[in-house]
Amino acid sequence: MIGCRRVKQINELLVERLQICVAIYYRCASAYSEASGALGEAIDRAFSEDDTQQIAVLRQLLVDRIAKEQEILGQLDLVGRG
């Protein structure tokens, strides 16, 4: 039988791990947001400069990004979290 002290230790470890996961999530979300902003600025710049080569590169980058997002969503659906 698990004692109260052991249950408290387990709960503290779980809370600590959850806090670490939340911190990682927020760092990832922040980095993703920054990347989105940079991509948007690059797209605006390419169109304003009528840089067809850069537009093509950025279009492919968007296609790749959307494909990765769809892959992640598919994995979430697979495990019942989509």
Residue 1, pLDDT score? 65
Burial class (CB in 10 A: 0-12, 13-18, 19+), 63: exposed
Report whether pLDDT(82) > 70: no
Residue 63, pLDDT score? 96
pTM: 0.68
Measured between its terminal Cα atoms, the distance across the chain in Å is: 37
Q: Which two tokens stand for residue 27?
A: 């760092």
